[in-house]
């Protein structure tokens, strides 16, 4: 598995994420792909570089060219070399203790996308804010209706994918709406998507890069990919090499 770790202002939570990954899933991790950008702080970068002490030459730090979180993940997808990629964060909002469960399911269902859900039985939220939880619920229901799916959490960006799938799709979003796109396009392609319940707790350090104006893009993303012609979901040719 390739683990994708984007980082901007996280410090101790980078260490804690790596510690748990190493402790629970070391033998299944072939590559640790850290993505940093111009806004990544020097201390965060230092913590990312220190991951080499745990994972050795499996760590690769990539300086993104495309902007924002979607840009970071899109470039990382093309740099992944393992059979599967797991997309998560370094702010501990994507519980790293769940990684062994993702791997267990991926071994049984290698062609499927595995995704964490805060709305599946056994999952939940703390400290998300009542209005935001309510808006999130409405959005999830709308997604189920439009995409005719029983999935319960399309907006949480904690997912495992077969690498050939993410390298075949033509990705479009650059900001956080990209996280939504990563389940909508596999659904449109008829890929099996399996959910794991998870409990979401807010970050203890660093700053979210998400904003209300970014969240407003989710509606457009939801509608655009619903009506998009199937032929435009996949890339026409191989990705250009990223250096
Ligand atoms: N390399 C890179 N990482 C990013 C960028 N934006 C966010 N990240 C990282 O991606 C992860 C998730 O970002 P957040 O901004 O916390 O987004 P979120 O958790 O979906 O949104 P909130 O619910 O508001 O926290 C964090 O580890 C961030 O450091 C970016 O532009 N470049
Ligand atoms: Mg976050």
Question: What is the phi/psi pair of residue 41, to 5°?
Answer: -75, 155
CA dist 81 and 79 (Å) reads 6
Residue 70 CB–ligand 1 contact under 6 Å: no
- Bridge partners of 113, per DSSP, are 193
Which residue puts its alpha carbon closest to atom 2 of ligand 1?
A: 6
Index of the ligand 1 atom closest to the CA of residue 9: 29
Q: Would you state the pLDDT for residue 179?
A: 98
| 36: its two tokens | 């940093």
Q: Would you state the pLDDT for residue 168?
A: 98
Q: What angle in degrees, to the nearest 10, is found between the helix axes of 42-49 and 12-25?
A: 20
Within 110-224, strands assigned E span 113-117, 124-125, 159-162, 193-197, 199-200
Ligand 2 centre to CA of 208 (Å) is 5
The position carrying tokens 């660093």 is 206
Q: Would you state the pLDDT for residue 174?
A: 97
CA dist 155 and 158 (Å) reads 9
Index of the ligand 1 atom closest to the CA of residue 156: 20
How far does the chain reach from its first CA to its final CA, in angstroms? 21
Mean pLDDT by 10 residues, the chain (243 residues): 98 98 98 98 98 98 98 98 98 98 98 98 95 96 98 98 98 98 98 98 93 88 96 82 67
Q: Are 125 and 198 in contact (CB under 8 A)?
A: no
Q: Please name each of the domains of the chain with its CATH number.
A: 2-232 (3.90.550.10)
Ligand 1: which of 4, 6, 37 to mutate, judged by most atoms within 8 Å of the beta carbon? 6
Q: Would you state the pLDDT for residue 32?
A: 98
Residue 13 CB–ligand 1 contact under 6 Å: no
Q: Would you state the pLDDT for residue 212?
A: 83
Q: Would you state the pLDDT for residue 243?
A: 63
Q: Would you state the pLDDT for residue 238?
A: 60
Per DSSP, the three-state class of 218 is helix
Alpha helices in 52-129 (DSSP H): 52-55, 68-79, 99-108
Q: Would you state the pLDDT for residue 240?
A: 64
Ligand 1: which of 89, 198, 212 to mutate, judged by most atoms within 8 Å of the beta carbon? 89
Q: Are 156 and 190 in contact (CB under 8 A)?
A: no
For Cα atoms 17, 104, 118, give the angle at the middle one, nearest 5 degrees. Answer: 60
Q: Would you state the pLDDT for residue 213?
A: 84
CA dist 57 and 14 (Å) reads 18
Ligand 1 centre to CA of 210 (Å) is 7
Ligand 2 centre to CA of 190 (Å) is 29
Q: By C-alpha distance, which of 171, 55, 195, 52 is closest to 121?
A: 195
Q: Are 200 and 88 in contact (CB under 8 A)?
A: no
Q: Are 1 and 19 in contact (CB under 8 A)?
A: no
Q: Are 157 and 221 in contact (CB under 8 A)?
A: no
Ligand 1 centre to CA of 125 (Å) is 18
């Amino acid at each position: 598995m390739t683990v994708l770790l984007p980082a901007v202002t996280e410090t101790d939570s980078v260490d804690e994420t790596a510690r748990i990954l190493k402790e629970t899933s070391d033998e299944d991790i072939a590559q640790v792909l850290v993505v940093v950008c111009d806004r990544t702080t020097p201390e965060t970068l230092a913590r990312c570089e220190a991951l080499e002490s745990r994972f050795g030459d499996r760590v690769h730090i990539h300086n993104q060219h495309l902007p924002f979180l979607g840009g970071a993940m899109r470039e990382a997808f093309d740099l992944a070399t393992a059979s599967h990629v797991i997309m998560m964060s370094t702010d501990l909002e994507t519980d790293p203790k769940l990684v062994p469960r993702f791997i267990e399911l991926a071994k049984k269902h290698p062609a499927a996308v595995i995704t964490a859900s805060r709305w599946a039985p056994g999952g939940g939220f703390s400290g998300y804010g009542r209005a935001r939880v309510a808006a999130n619920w409405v959005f999830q229901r709308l997604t189920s209706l439009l995409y005719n799916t029983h999935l319960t959490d399309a907006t949480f960006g904690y997912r495992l994918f077969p690498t050939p799938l993410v390298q075949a799709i033509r990705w479009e979003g650059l900001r956080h709406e990209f996280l939504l796109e990563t389940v909508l396009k596999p659904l449109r392609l008829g890929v099996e998507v399996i959910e794991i319940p998870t409990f979401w707790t807010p970050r203890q350090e660093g700053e979210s890069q998400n904003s209300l104006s970014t969240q407003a893009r989710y509606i457009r993303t939801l509608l655009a990919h619903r009506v998009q012609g199937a032929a435009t979901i996949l890339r026409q040719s191989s990705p250009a090499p990223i250096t």
